[in-house]
Structure 1
Amino acid sequence: MIPVEHSRIPDEGAVFSVSDPAEIVEMASLAGEAGLSKDWWITLIASCTSKFGAAEGDPVSVILWGGVLLRVLSIAGEAGGLGWAYILPKRVSANLNIAGAKIEIENRVGEEYDEVWRGFVQDLKKEGESLSKFRNDVSLGADLLRFPSGKKRAYQISEVRSMLREILFHREKMAAENRSEIDLWVSFLRVRFE
């Protein structure tokens, strides 16, 4: 149930019907103050992700809907209680697609992908994460699951590996120092390709 003072926020079932980018950002801002459930935020993110995916092939729309998705993810990360392992993969994916759209529009090469990589590492640092922490936890293997927070940590590691796989598609377009750093992360996290 949405509180009366936030009546401009649709309930979970009506979130997908909102299609105006400015309305969605306003709705997310209001929802950030309203303390809505994780399920409501997951539904809003799914709606934005769907609209962002539908924009594929139109670089201007990719940039527009990518910006909306990034804003919603930012607000949801602060107010929705979803955790970085849920938010960050979506942020990385959106940023990579936005970078590709900008490159297509501006006919440039690569800098945007370097920015995505640096943003990925900075976002993890903000969460208190580091390559050495991941390396230590990965080295535990199955023993990691014996710890009380082992399942959560295994999920986080899995999400970081997934993000690294996605970033690797753009590795060759990045600066040499970023390629080297990516290679370290891939090696230390034992990223495999299925």
Structure 2
Amino acid sequence: MQGHPSRTRRKLLRIAGSAALVLVFVIVIWIDLTTGVWQQAVILSGIAAGVLTFLLTALFFERWMSGADHRRWYPVTHLALTDLLHTLGDEERSQLSRGVIVARAIDDAGDHAQVLEAIHSERRTITQVLVRWAGFLAASADVQGIMDHIAALALRLDAARDAVLEAEVTPENADAQAAMRASIEAANASIRGAVDEIEAVLHTFAKKQA
């Protein structure tokens, strides 16, 4: 899943930043204890204090406040992600009451008009749920990976629509038909990936709340 590498990078960056901040503190304190440079260079000491304050705020205080906001809004975040998950799930094959979600899929077996209608319906459904929750999730939850995935899904649906239109114009062109099927499969794979990503985030949230 795409979210795991991103979260791992952020974790490594936080660890590296924390280590660098501790090192800077040690150096500043060592200089203060062993020399009188801070008393002699007032401007330099002010710059150093400002840098340390900024690092503390960026690496610790801001993260702590953000985490507190996320915990406060967790019930609404859970509702929003569950709504997204159910929207991306196939109602006939999923067992929503049991938490079993089977991703929706666009069928490329029909004629071009039917496939276009299926893509349009999928795009409209995703747009509606995004309009309902995108503002809240962007402001109150640490789910940027999911938002990026949903946005990429919308782009893949647009690409699938264009491929179907091209195949409809040239029905005898085998390459165009193959490109249409490949584009639809890419969109379906993106839907499955979004479902997996949301389920992983909900699982992580559940463990944090336990």
TM-score by length of 1: 0.24
Structure of higher RCO (CA pairs closer than 8 Å, 6+ residues apart) = 2
Larger-Rg structure: 2
Higher helix share: 2
